[in-house]
Every structure is written in C-alpha cells, then in structure tokens.
A and B are shown apart, each in its own frame.
Chain A
Amino acid sequence: MSAPTYDLGKLHGGLRLPGHKNESTANPIKDVPIPAQLVLPIEQHVGEPAQPVVGIGDRVLKGQLVAEPDGEMGAPVHASSSGTVVAIEQWPVSRRHGDKAPCIVIECDGKDEAIAGGAIEDYPSLAPADLLLRILDGGIVGLGGAVFPTAQKLMQARTCDTEFLILNGVECEPYISCDDVLMRERTHAILSGAQVLMHALQINVCYVAVESDKPAAIARLGEVLGELGDERIVLKQVPTIYPSGGEDQLVQLVTNREVPSGGLPTDVGCLVQNVGTAAAVHDWVLCNEPLISRVTTVTGDGVASPVNVRARIGTMIEEVVEYAGGYTASARHMIIGGPMTGRSVTTDEVPLVKATNCILVVSESPHIGDELACIRCGDCAAVCPVQLLPQQLFWYACADNEKKLREFGLTDCIECGCCDLVCPSHIPLTADFRIAKGRIRELADEKSRAERARLRFEARNVRLERESQEREAELASQKESAKAAGPAAIAEILKRKQQRKEGDAE
C-alpha cells in the first residue's frame, strides 16, 4: 500500500461546493444493454469532423472503423456494436445547443460480434512513435469532457521536453462521479494505461491526482500501486476545491508550476490526462477495444435511482436514463455535463457521445434572483482560479472593447463559473464571457480574412505590373529587331502586307 503525498502548490481562489456525489457512488457501475439503434456523430472531438468510410446497408462489427479522421486534428469513430448501417444523416446532438450534426446510424443485431484484431501484449517492445500511431487508431479522446484527441496531445508533448505525466482523477465538479467509480473498479486498467502512456512519452514520473473527498478511490489506488510496485507512479491527494481539476489548475497544484497565459501544460513540462482516458488507452492497446463505451454519471433529483453506468457511445440519453430507473415526477431540466460547465438540453433524444461524462436531471432550478448592476465588490476576482478580474472584463465586454478584453486576459478564462456563483448582483458573467470570446474569435477571423484579401490584392497588382512590363519589353524587342533588320527589310515586309491585302480584296 502506498500512501498519498500532499506536497502541493497553491491554487488561487476557487470554491468549496456541495458535492452531491454520494447519491451516485453507492452502487457499482451498471452496464447499459446494447440498444436497438446506435447514433454515432462523426464529430465527437476537437478538430475536423471524421469522414464516414462505411455506406448505407453495410454490415459492421463491434470495434470496426466507421469514420476516419480527416486532416491534421481529429479522431476516428468506431461502431459500438455489430449491426447494419441504416442511415448517415443529420441528427440532434448535445454538443452544440439545439443543433444537428451528421451521424452514422447503426441498427444493432444484438450479436455484439467483435472485429478480429491483435492486442499488443508486449507494448514495451514497440518504439514510442509506433505506439503513438497505435493510440491514434483507437479513437481515444480526452474523457474529462474536453474531448481533445489524445494521440495529437501526446504527439505535441513528444515535441516538448515533458517531465511529468499527471493523471487527472480530481473530478471537482459537483454531481459527477464517473471517474471516482472508475478509479475504484478499474484501478488496474487506469494504472496500466498510465504505464503505456509513460512508455509512449518516455517519461519516468507519473502523478495520479485525486481529490480528498474520494477516500475509497485513494485507498484502492494505493492498494493496487503497492501490488504493482511501480515506483514511477506517485499518488497525490489534492484538496476538494472547485476547479482544482482544471488542467492548468491541476498542474499548478501538483507541480507548483504556473502554465503561462495562452500556453499549454507542456510549456512547463507537464502532460495531463484524465484517468478515464488512461483506462481507454489500456483497453485499446492491451485488449484491442477502441473507445466504444464510457462510464457516465446519471444523477440529480430528477432521476429515480442515481447511478454510474457504462454505456456504448451512440446510445440515446433517453435509454440511459430509463436504465437508471427513469425520471422522477419532479424532473424538469436536463444538463449534459456538470452543473457548472455543462450545457442544458431541451430533448433527451440525443446520443451519448465520448464527451458525455454526466447526465444531470434536476427539478425546477431555484430562482437565483434578477440581474442587478455590478457594484464592483470584487468577490469574483477573489474566487477566479486564473486570477483574472471578472468585474473589469464584464465592463469591457459590455463596451465591446476587444483590445481591453485581450489585455485583461479574457482568452485565459476557463469558464468555470465561480464568478457567477459568488456575484451578489446575479450577473451571468460566464455567459457574457462566452459571448465576448466568440466575438473576439469572429474579429480575429475577420482580420485574418482581410489580411489574406490584402495580400492577394497586392500579389495581383504585382502580377499585372509584371505582365504589362513584359508586354512592353516584348514590343520594344520587336521594334529593336525591326530596326536592326534595316529599312530595306521593313519596306519588304510592308510591301508583302500590301500585296496580301490586295489579294484578299480580289
């Protein structure tokens, strides 16, 4: 048994929030049965949408590639069970609010036949680069909710001088407990995944960070670490403060290094991966199962029996909730993700995707009060984990002052929602910042478009100028050669021309 260590860096601000986690962690993970139909969005990751490689009517097996990545940034999508592709069409998804996205619809045959393929038992014999390529094929994305393609993240880290791998088992947002139960039940898979990741990156230190409100997970991790005897992996207990699970915040806590503004954890020698991602890497590399299922917390007072379920990617949220006992009579709102950073949806007929870490159903949300004017109390600045000045940003967001917004670091805002929660005037700051960020992006796009148009315009002017010069030079050289030939030759040519004209007239 190896005990957790506590030497930590300092996190600015943050909030202690009521956890609401015990409701869903009382029971072990339940497996949702194979649904009759799977809906697989081709865009379940950051980057370019994947391109379907199957046609309507094709029979697919469990784990078969159905869409491959297109472009530099992306992840493949695999069939979550065996069946027949019945449609490739637009379907409502939870990723973008009220939006539709192209999905591959598979009618399952219930046989759950897996595609043949070899697991790599002896991964240490593989070169790190080959191992990365293998991870790329598994469709693995960051399962903490950001769904950044894992292989690309690892490849980026390989180009930097990375010292530490940090496994994120913090899960600081209220209600969500999928990582907690995963750490209790699939401890071996998580730590084995960490070893695979360490080999792929050639790193010799791995910190497993777990929040102090998960004693069962910490005890289990310590136990398994003791069995493994891998001294490269160190367990770290972090305090229960929201948002200590944010990537940059966790780096600060674990290593006491601050990720620079606009930078990445790799800038300070760290790479953060969610514990679920590590388990997915283990499943793919050692058991040949790509990312076709995930553990999701179904919780809230709108759900009859809150529980963590393992569901196949593409299962309807409606079916997942039904499996968790269905809705209670008081169920009113559904949020995909946690209460702080999740998105509310108006329909449960959306598929569960790789990003879905929590399905939260709540009864009527308490009326927090009407928005009032900012009194500049500064409470928001005190809790901001990125040390921004939300009151100042709010001021400039209202004035649409792009320059000042940048200056005051809006682009570093992690949208954790702490400022919203403490604001005595009930100003929806995070929502305003999201809009302002969109506006900044829009302006940057406009600017780059204008810049491109200007370059093309200037290039065209240069070309026109060059063409006219070439024409002039051509004419001049013709004149020159005529002059060189002498007056007799010119008279000869003119005479021939005259004769031809006369001939034409006749």
Chain B
Amino acid sequence: MWIAVITIAVIALVAGIALSYAQRRLPANEGDLVEQVNDLLPQTQCAQCGYPGCRPFAAALVDGSAAINLCPPGGDDTIRRLARLLGKEVMPLAESVVPAVAVIDEPACIGCYHCRNACPVDAIVGAHQFMHTVIASECTGCELCVAPCPVDCITMRPVS
C-alpha cells in the first residue's frame, strides 16, 4: 500500500515540477502569439484601433488591453478569427467602414508632401512642389492621408 502511495506522490511531484517549468516557459511564446495575431490583421496600418499600426494592436490584443472589435478594415471575419485564436467571445464591430482607396484630385494638388509623409505603406508617389498620386493597388484605404492635406484634394473612393 505504501509503495503505491509513494509511487503516486513521486509521479505527482514530477508532473508538478514539469508543469511549473512549462508555465514559466509560456511567456517566451507570447512573441509567437503576437505574430500569429498580427498575421490575422489586415495590415492597413490605419491606426483606427487607436494603436500606431497593426503590430502594436496585435501586442495589445495579446496582453489583453485591447478589445477584439476595434479593427474596422478587418470586419467581422477578422473578429471571428481573432476570437477563435484568443479564445474570446465574438462581438460586433465597434464601427464599420467600406473598403476604399484614396484618390488625389491631381489638378488641385500643390505638391506639399504632407500626404506622402502620412502614408504608412508608401503608396503615394511625388516630389516636393510636384503633383502627387496614389498607387491604387498598394493603397490600403487607411484614410491617414486625408487629414494632413492642406487643400483637401484627397477623397476616399469605395472599391467594389
């Protein structure tokens, strides 16, 4: 009988040590989790979530300080995938946006360079004092270039 008790106790001890070791190891995997979350985000770098880009938002999601419904470009699909990955409840999007691309009204552009500096994915080309234009295929529709334009010549055009 004692042999059985001791055997069980030893197994419990070994398992306990292994588990506590594993738990200490877990935070090291958080970086991977941030990468996984980042992979699910649409990479528009629009900052509409309140964080300065997709990766910081992913980090905030992993440490639990951000809600999963803050990414408008990702839409419901992204929320569903985030909920599945992070083991959270699916919730409705805080506010939804239609996918769009920025369009510069080229005759009105004064070549001030402000929008070009604002674009997180370098999708605006042009030189100082020269007309700028948007590379439509690279534009993520983040709207970050709209506000800095001093002559309001940038509009968002919805894409089908």
Q: Is B53 an interface residue (CB 8 A)?
A: yes
Q: Is A494 an interface residue (CB 8 A)?
A: no
Contacts of A452 in B (CB 8 A): 138
When the two chains form the complex, which single residue of B41, B53, B120, B122 contacts A450, counting CB atoms closer than 8 Å? B41
Q: Is A398 an interface residue (CB 8 A)?
A: no
Q: What 9 A-B pairs come out closest when comparing CB atoms?
A: A453-B43, A450-B43, A456-B121, A454-B43, A457-B45, A460-B122, A453-B140, A453-B121, A450-B42
Q: Is A446 an interface residue (CB 8 A)?
A: yes
A228 to B38, CA, bound (A): 65
Contacts of B69 in A (CB 8 A): none
In the bound complex, do residue B122 and residue A451 qualify as a contact, i.e. CB atoms below 8 Å apart?
Answer: no
Contacts of A459 in B (CB 8 A): 122
Chain A residue nearest to B135 (CB atoms) is: A456
In the bound complex, do residue B120 and residue A460 qualify as a contact, i.e. CB atoms below 8 Å apart?
Answer: yes
For chain A, the count of residues having a C-beta within 8 Å of the partner chain is 12
Q: Is B54 an interface residue (CB 8 A)?
A: yes
A454 to B39, CA, bound (A): 9
Contacts of A460 in B (CB 8 A): 120-122
Per DSSP, chain B at the interface is loop
A230 to B155, CA, bound (A): 68
Contacts of B45 in A (CB 8 A): 453, 457
Q: Please provide the chain B residues from 103 to 144 with a CB less than 8 Å away from any CB of chain A in the complex.
A: 120-123, 138, 140
Q: Please provide the chain A residues from 420 to 465 with a CB less than 8 Å away from any CB of chain B in the complex.
A: 446, 449-454, 456-457, 459-460, 463
A463 to B44, CA, bound (A): 18
A453, A460, A463 pick with most chain B CB within 10 angstroms: A453
User: Contact string, B27-65, partner A, CB cutoff 8 A, digits 1/0?
Assistant: 000000000001001111100000001100000000000
User: Contact string, A458-486, partner B, CB cutoff 8 A, digits 1/0?
Assistant: 01100100000000000000000000000
28 pairs, A vs B, C-beta closer than 8 Å:
A449-B43, A449-B140, A450-B41, A450-B42, A450-B43, A451-B43, A452-B138, A453-B42, A453-B43, A453-B44, A453-B45, A453-B121, A453-B140, A454-B38, A454-B54, A456-B121, A456-B122, A456-B138, A457-B43, A457-B45, A457-B53, A457-B54, A457-B120, A457-B121, A459-B122, A460-B120, A460-B121, A460-B122
- List 20 other contacts, CB 8 Å, given A449-B43, A452-B138, A463-B122: A449-B42, A449-B140, A450-B41, A450-B43, A451-B43, A453-B42, A453-B43, A453-B44, A453-B45, A454-B38, A454-B43, A454-B54, A456-B122, A456-B138, A457-B53, A457-B54, A457-B121, A459-B122, A460-B121, A460-B122
A449 to B140, CA, bound (A): 9
Chain A residue nearest to B138 (CB atoms) is: A456
A355 to B38, CA, bound (A): 44
In the bound complex, do residue B122 and residue A453 qualify as a contact, i.e. CB atoms below 8 Å apart?
Answer: no
Contacts of B121 in A (CB 8 A): 453, 456-457, 460
A206 to B100, CA, bound (A): 53
Contacts of B54 in A (CB 8 A): 454, 457
A446 to B141, CA, bound (A): 13
A460 to B122, CA, bound (A): 7
A449 to B123, CA, bound (A): 13
Contacts of A449 in B (CB 8 A): 42-43, 140
A459 to B138, CA, bound (A): 14
A453 to B74, CA, bound (A): 14
Chain B residue nearest to A463 (CB atoms) is: B122
Chain A: minimal CB distance from B26 (Å): 25
Chain B: minimal CB distance from A449 (Å): 8
Contacts of A457 in B (CB 8 A): 43, 45, 53-54, 120-121
In the bound complex, do residue B41 and residue A456 qualify as a contact, i.e. CB atoms below 8 Å apart?
Answer: no
Chain A residue nearest to B117 (CB atoms) is: A464
Chain A: minimal CB distance from B160 (Å): 13
Chain A: minimal CB distance from B48 (Å): 14
Q: Please provide the chain A residues from 249 to 265 with a CB less than 8 Å away from any CB of chain B in the complex.
A: none
Chain A: minimal CB distance from B43 (Å): 4
Contacts of A456 in B (CB 8 A): 121-123, 138
Contacts of A446 in B (CB 8 A): 42
A398 to B43, CA, bound (A): 28
Assuming the contacts A459-B122, A460-B120, asked whether A453 and B138 have C-beta atoms less than 8 A apart, the reply is yes
Chain B: minimal CB distance from A360 (Å): 32
Contacts of B43 in A (CB 8 A): 449-451, 453-454, 457
A484 to B45, CA, bound (A): 45
Contacts of B41 in A (CB 8 A): 450
Contacts of A454 in B (CB 8 A): 38, 43, 54
Chain B: minimal CB distance from A402 (Å): 10
Chain A: minimal CB distance from B96 (Å): 16
Chain A: minimal CB distance from B75 (Å): 10
A446 to B43, CA, bound (A): 10
Contacts of B140 in A (CB 8 A): 449, 453
A452 to B121, CA, bound (A): 9
Chain B: minimal CB distance from A89 (Å): 21
A456 to B138, CA, bound (A): 9
Chain B: minimal CB distance from A100 (Å): 15
A457 to B42, CA, bound (A): 12
A201 to B121, CA, bound (A): 45
Contacts of A451 in B (CB 8 A): 43
